[in-house]
Amino acid sequence: MLLLVSPIDVEEAKEAIEGGADIIDVKNPKEGSLGANFPWVIREVRKITPKSLLVSATVGDVPYKPGTVSLAALGAGMSGADYIKVGLYGVKNYNQAVELMKSVVKAVKDFDDNKIVVAAGYADAYRVGAVDPLVIPKIARDSGADVAMLDTAIKDGKTLFDFLSKEILEEFVSEVHDYGLKCALAGTIKKDHIPILKEIGTDIVGVRGAACKGGDRNKGRIDRNLVRELKELC
Amino acid sequence: MLLLVSPIDVEEAKEAIEGGADIIDVKNPKEGSLGANFPWVIREVRKITPKSLLVSATVGDVPYKPGTVSLAALGAGMSGADYIKVGLYGVKNYNQAVELMKSVVKAVKDFDDNKIVVAAGYADAYRVGAVDPLVIPKIARDSGADVAMLDTAIKDGKTLFDFLSKEILEEFVSEVHDYGLKCALAGTIKKDHIPILKEIGTDIVGVRGAACKGGDRNKGRIDRNLVRELKELC
Amino acid sequence: MLLLVSPIDVEEAKEAIEGGADIIDVKNPKEGSLGANFPWVIREVRKITPKSLLVSATVGDVPYKPGTVSLAALGAGMSGADYIKVGLYGVKNYNQAVELMKSVVKAVKDFDDNKIVVAAGYADAYRVGAVDPLVIPKIARDSGADVAMLDTAIKDGKTLFDFLSKEILEEFVSEVHDYGLKCALAGTIKKDHIPILKEIGTDIVGVRGAACKGGDRNKGRIDRNLVRELKELC
Amino acid sequence: MLLLVSPIDVEEAKEAIEGGADIIDVKNPKEGSLGANFPWVIREVRKITPKSLLVSATVGDVPYKPGTVSLAALGAGMSGADYIKVGLYGVKNYNQAVELMKSVVKAVKDFDDNKIVVAAGYADAYRVGAVDPLVIPKIARDSGADVAMLDTAIKDGKTLFDFLSKEILEEFVSEVHDYGLKCALAGTIKKDHIPILKEIGTDIVGVRGAACKGGDRNKGRIDRNLVRELKELC
Amino acid sequence: MLLLVSPIDVEEAKEAIEGGADIIDVKNPKEGSLGANFPWVIREVRKITPKSLLVSATVGDVPYKPGTVSLAALGAGMSGADYIKVGLYGVKNYNQAVELMKSVVKAVKDFDDNKIVVAAGYADAYRVGAVDPLVIPKIARDSGADVAMLDTAIKDGKTLFDFLSKEILEEFVSEVHDYGLKCALAGTIKKDHIPILKEIGTDIVGVRGAACKGGDRNKGRIDRNLVRELKELC
Amino acid sequence: MLLLVSPIDVEEAKEAIEGGADIIDVKNPKEGSLGANFPWVIREVRKITPKSLLVSATVGDVPYKPGTVSLAALGAGMSGADYIKVGLYGVKNYNQAVELMKSVVKAVKDFDDNKIVVAAGYADAYRVGAVDPLVIPKIARDSGADVAMLDTAIKDGKTLFDFLSKEILEEFVSEVHDYGLKCALAGTIKKDHIPILKEIGTDIVGVRGAACKGGDRNKGRIDRNLVRELKELC
């Protein structure tokens, strides 16, 4: 299982790299759960990250605007992101989501066919009116994305498992694999969740708080030792 | 006064070019008044447009998400747009607008310093909760944009002049010029409005319906003769 | 494929019976797409319907109130309904829906184990904020319901097929069958849709407008000949 | 004055019975101020309550859906409730309320003419957009209900008397009696309120917190001695 | 029964006077059903109206702002209005309404004890979230107002009788008289309604459309002959 | 720079007078940031205030109702206020604001041409959907008002400077002066802000908290010594 870690600056990114993270994830929490960061920040993180590691970047908790979002996805790819994550926030159903993700896939793959496109939904989608998390696998499949992902939309301490049971998540992973895609899971993941995620076959696990001193995603800083401990569990 | 025309496909773009338009504008009305089009559409229009003419592209009626929007602006610039328009739709005041536009200016000018950044507000902003149009000049000035623009947010037949009087628009143009910037005005502009816009010193006028057969922005198609007539008035 | 027809009064119910409908469905369109009718109306329809035919009754486009809804389901069962349909309108996700449907199943089966419980979702759920239609099969399975059904929430002329493609519906039916349940589909179904629904394996098709003179669910009246024509296609 | 006590489980119900409560009230606070409980819970409470005492059950803080609500009222009656309370939550005026209550009265009395139907309004109706409490007496009268009741919709510590003065409540009781009906009052009633309610002629007083240890409706448990003290004041 | 007529300008006011209206009512429909007109308009109508007739003025469909509204009521009284009507639009219950009306009564009566204060509610209050019309008599009584009035809030062709039955209105009038107050009724009153209003004891009936040519409150103009016909029925 | 102080009762008004305030401001915080007080309160404050000092009164955080608001402004003027402040709360743009303020100016100046009319906007207008503060100078100019003012709409501890930078405020003052009007600034102004406001040319500064013991606008009381200290800085 690959470990994706979300630093908030270059210094934290270095800790994550030292700790053995597989994917360095550039987000901007000020703009939401999957908030986009600026082109110059993505470029900087790509610069300090070894070639062997992947950089992921999100284009935001996006509205249902395929034009705007596909331009942003292109901008993220061009800034050096290998993984391009789209938070399906303002799309309300399968049809809208597939339409939007198809545009993103075309915009990104036209630019560089090796980029990996991630369709990300929210386990607590009902709290924000977004498309249901259980529909994400079909959306990823039918839009040509590479990875189906879940996170939580509202960061209030509740975790992925507060919204979806282990059984339902296991079905989710299995459905994604049936479609020949990879599966990424995140959402205030604690250390204790990692063996469960591994057991059910998750391909990529995303963390931030669990890699921070004191387990606090806001006040703590990413620590290489904590990253290493998490990586060992993957 | 430069004439900006907004075709919806390549065929219409050719008519606009033949008719003598100065700026060929790529929009996607499905995504709103200043809706963004896809990277491949911008590229295609740029390809068929003579070097001597400018291509403009909008990045959408944008939310208050500086990260997402600056990535999209970069994507638009990279796809070949010379003018990059940002519709200040989801920003509610001067501070938010300046923050967002500064990100866009940095993202675009880092990529190519010759690109022109347009801060676009809405004459009927109060109908959608967007920042007041009379504040746009200061926003353009303080964010380092090149052009201050107004359009209408809701296309229901009402024109720019239904929301702002000639006197107020004249003050608007004059304030923009005092700041050393250019001024673009649009919003269901009719042929008869053009001499007024010229009289008050507008630098760029944007049209679609007035360049379409029957004056109908939706059912009509852009016609080179109508474009020529409008250009002669500029 | 069984034919479910929704009359609005006893006279129409008789026409449906004469025309060969398999299931006589008691609704109250005044209270919504799956609006509940009164106990005395259900009793009356049950009285005039041959024992060999089933009577179905809906308990409404229900709010997320398991207590109230399970009392209503019991009331419907006690009034003579064989099929008890619950419109999952005010429930926003899998968890809420399973909790509510479990209460209904227990309330109904405690009373009479032969009653059939139908978990009904809406193809256009996003228009009313209800749980996604693609999640209904799992909800039916995990709550112990007997049938997974889809209808449309808003009766504005749009049909089931305007919201879900044939391919997606086929996957839906197939998933329901994998769980050992039956599948019912409705939503402004036209005569031409029936062969498609049959082809993809639907167990029960629900109609009203298509069985009315002039095809008009509001102004037309159910006609036995039209019912017969539809039945022949099933 | 009769004392109605609202236990949350069978053990509390027994305490209420031992303490001398006249009416044992089955609610489900998870579904709101007058939230409905499940059929099997009503049956269980009825089973352990002496024949000489009455069991009341609410069908919920109900929406304006006469069909659904009359089915639920029938379900509650059939489960053994003697008093059937309807919380007029989603009805906004006299006409809607009378229409809904008439359906409930018919559904319940058709089943068993001895059942008592209670039209319950909210003293703080304006906080939730429900029909005004001062209109409840006319609603009860014109729909054929037996009892007019008031409670509070939001349980935030405010009492009946925070929304309606003693003078207004006295007029309320007197109007209900003029119509030949009984009057029930509840809403975070404290021990000290009981003599006032008695003085103004209330027929039934409803309590929970005041019968709990520590006066806490949530953390305390109903205590037979507290019930006895309250009963002595009635 | 007194006839109150609502002209929209001085010319119409003269027609109403010639036709025999008892009360000349100054409103401003642009600001709502009971919209306030400007001080200079009230002064002008008072000037051309014979001393023997009364001029009424509304202070608006008011928000729950006792300070602002009592200042406006004083302004209306000072401008020459004899009747000062307050549309209880933004007040949601008895307590808020009594508080607001007490301030108005004090502001007006401190200035001139002969002014008549009217507490006006809306028959269709539930459509705008205003206090229930059936509570208006108690509000008028407990705030020291002189008249309890009803009108409709939304002018969509529906009349007073579409929201309140003759029986309920008769109770309303009777309750107002029990309190020693006068009762005024309005709300798209047609000629045929007037004998009914007279029969149930209404003191003042308010009209506009019925006094206009073609019965059209918007396009028609008040006609002295129509006013006379209405007056004869009073 | 003149010092405007906002007492909440007559005793505090006397302290403000003793402390050397230039303008005694009558507000009613219960009705909002610029909430109106009652006619009798304005009269009382005017009575105890020396002729040489001015009394100001607000007519409220007003809705877009020119009729109601002009009646209230007249009521305030007639009650003795010299300054009449209108909080442009429910008006959403320049056109609505100019229309409303013109009515107020006419209502007040018709009554007494010496009264001073203040068009007051909110620095945090975007939090309540009111017209943008940067547009207030043009509104004051074009409606014939005498003073352009800013305050904050929501009193949550944030100050004028949290919403508008010193640079922007300086432009504001300068624009107001260019139009030949006076400029008043308020909004949780602290002692330390006063020299800055003076430096940028403000004509009138409004305070309450800074003049209260403990700096607490709610729990503290106005103290003559604190008023004197503030006055010395003006």
* Chain centre distance of CA D227: 17
pLDDT for F8 equals 86
- What is the interface size between E and F, counted as CB pairs within 8 Å? 113
Task: Report chain C residues whose CB lies below 8 A from the CB of D63.
Answer: 63
- B75 with A75: Cβ contact below 8 A: yes
* Percentage above 90 pLDDT, chain E: 96
The confidence band for B114, taking pLDDT boundaries of 50, 70 and 90, is very high
The mean per-residue pLDDT over the stretch F17-31 comes to 95
pLDDT for E138 equals 98
The mean per-residue pLDDT over the stretch B143-148 comes to 98
- For the cut 90, the answer to whether the pLDDT of residue F231 exceeds it is yes
Task: Report chain B residues whose CB lies below 8 A from the CB of F94.
Answer: 132, 134, 164, 168
The beta-carbon neighbor of E132 closest among D93, D163, D168 is D93
The mean per-residue pLDDT over the stretch C19-23 comes to 98
pLDDT for E217 equals 84
- F75 with E79: Cβ contact below 8 A: no
The mean per-residue pLDDT over the stretch D18-43 comes to 95
- For the cut 90, the answer to whether the pLDDT of residue E190 exceeds it is yes
Residue type at position D141: R
pLDDT for E192 equals 96
pLDDT for E21 equals 98
pLDDT for C4 equals 98
pLDDT for F219 equals 86
Residues C32 and C65: beta-carbon distance below 8 Å: no
**B33, B65, B68, best to mutate vs chain A, most A CBs in 10 Å:** B68
The mean per-residue pLDDT over the stretch A1-10 comes to 94
Residue type at position D71: L
Q: How far is A171 from chain B (nearest CA, A)?
A: 32
- For the cut 90, the answer to whether the pLDDT of residue F123 exceeds it is yes
pLDDT for B38 equals 97
The mean per-residue pLDDT over the stretch D184-207 comes to 97
The confidence band for A210, taking pLDDT boundaries of 50, 70 and 90, is very high
Q: Report how far residue E84's alpha carbon sits from residue E71's, in angstroms, rounded to the nearest whole number.
A: 12
pLDDT tens per residue across span A175-193: 999 999 999 999 999 999 9
Sign of CA dihedral F117, F123, F125, F131: positive
Query: What rounded mean pLDDT belongs to chain F?
Result: 97
The mean per-residue pLDDT over the stretch E21-46 comes to 95
pLDDT for B218 equals 83
- D134 with E129: Cβ contact below 8 A: no
ipTM above 0.85, yes or no: yes
pLDDT tens per residue across span F129-144: 999 999 999 999 999 9
Residues C129 and C91: beta-carbon distance below 8 Å: no
- D60 with C67: Cβ contact below 8 A: yes
Q: How far is C27 from chain A (nearest CA, A)?
A: 27
Query: Which of C47, C37, C48 is CA-nearest to residue C15?
Result: C48
Q: DSSP labels for chain E?
A: -EEEE--SSHHHHHHHHHHT-SEEEE--GGG-TT----HHHHHHHHHHS-TTSEEEEEEEEE-S-HHHHHHHHHHHHHTT-SEEEEEE-S--SHHHHHHHHHHHHHHHHHH-TT-EEEEEEETTGGGTTPPPGGGHHHHHHHHT-SEEEEE-SS-SS--HHHHS-HHHHHHHHHHHHHTT-EEEE-SS--TTHHHHHHHTT-SEEEESGGGBGGG-TTTS-B-HHHHHHHHHH-
The beta-carbon neighbor of C126 closest among A92, A168, A171 is A92
Task: Report chain A residues whose CB lies below 8 A from the CB of C92.
Answer: 126
Neighbors of chain B with 3 or more C-beta pairs under 8 Å: A, F
Q: How far is E212 from chain F (nearest CA, A)?
A: 24
The confidence band for C219, taking pLDDT boundaries of 50, 70 and 90, is confident
The beta-carbon neighbor of A138 closest among C92, C95, C134 is C134
- For the cut 90, the answer to whether the pLDDT of residue B215 exceeds it is no
- For the cut 90, the answer to whether the pLDDT of residue D67 exceeds it is yes
* Chain centre distance of CA D9: 17
Active site residue B182: no
What is the SS3 string spanning C170-232?
Answer: HHHHHHHHHCCCEEEECCCCCCCHHHHHHHCCCCEEEECHHHEHHHCCCCCCECHHHHHHHHH
pLDDT tens per residue across span E112-155: 999 999 999 999 999 999 999 999 999 999 999 999 999 999 99
Task: Report chain D residues whose CB lies below 8 A from the CB of E132.
Answer: 93-94, 131-132, 134-135
Task: Report chain D residues whose CB lies below 8 A from the CB of E138.
Answer: 134, 168, 171
Residues E226 and E192: beta-carbon distance below 8 Å: no
B→A contacts (Cβ < 8 Å), by residue, are 28, 30-32, 35-40, 59-60, 62-63, 65-76, 78-79, 103, 106-107, 110-111
- A75 with B79: Cβ contact below 8 A: no
pLDDT tens per residue across span E64-79: 999 999 999 999 999 9
**F95, F158, F166, best to mutate vs chain B, most B CBs in 10 Å:** F95
Asked whether C and A share 3 or more beta-carbon pairs under 8 angstroms, the answer is yes
pLDDT for A217 equals 84
pLDDT tens per residue across span E37-59: 999 999 999 999 999 999 999 99
pLDDT for D217 equals 84
> Catalytic positions of E, please?
27, 85
pLDDT for F215 equals 86
Two structure tokens written together for A92: 């309300």
Task: Report chain D residues whose CB lies below 8 A from the CB of C88.
Answer: none
pLDDT tens per residue across span D124-140: 999 999 999 999 999 99
pLDDT for B8 equals 86
Q: Among all residues of chain F, which has the CA nearest to that of B168?
A: F138
- For the cut 90, the answer to whether the pLDDT of residue F217 exceeds it is no
* Chain centre distance of CA B160: 13
- For the cut 90, the answer to whether the pLDDT of residue E219 exceeds it is no
The beta-carbon neighbor of A67 closest among B31, B66, B71 is B31
Q: Among all residues of chain C, which has the CA nearest to that of A164?
A: C95
Distant-in-sequence, close-in-space partners of D76: CB < 8 Å, separation ≥ 6: C71, D36, D39, D42, D57, D58, D59, D84
Task: Report chain B residues whose CB lies below 8 A from the CB of A39.
Answer: 70-71, 74, 107, 110-111
Task: Report chain D residues whose CB lies below 8 A from the CB of E93.
Answer: 125-126, 132, 163
The mean per-residue pLDDT over the stretch F2-17 comes to 95
End-to-end CA distance of chain C: 5
Q: Among all residues of chain F, which has the CA nearest to that of B90?
A: F126
Task: Report chain B residues whose CB lies below 8 A from the CB of A68.
Answer: 31, 35-36, 59-60, 62, 68-69, 72
Helix (H) or strand (E) holding A96: helix A94-111
Q: Report how far residue E174's alpha carbon sits from residue E167's, in angstroms, rounded to the nearest whole number.
A: 11
- For the cut 90, the answer to whether the pLDDT of residue D215 exceeds it is no
Q: Which domains does chain E have, with CATH numbers?
A: 2-233 (3.20.20.70)
Of C85, C115, C182, C231, which residue is the catalytic one? C85
Q: Among all residues of chain E, which has the CA nearest to that of D164?
A: E95
pLDDT tens per residue across span C151-178: 999 999 999 999 999 999 999 999 999 9
- For the cut 90, the answer to whether the pLDDT of residue F223 exceeds it is yes
Asked whether F and A share 3 or more beta-carbon pairs under 8 angstroms, the answer is no
pLDDT for F158 equals 97
The confidence band for A25, taking pLDDT boundaries of 50, 70 and 90, is very high
Active site residue D213: no
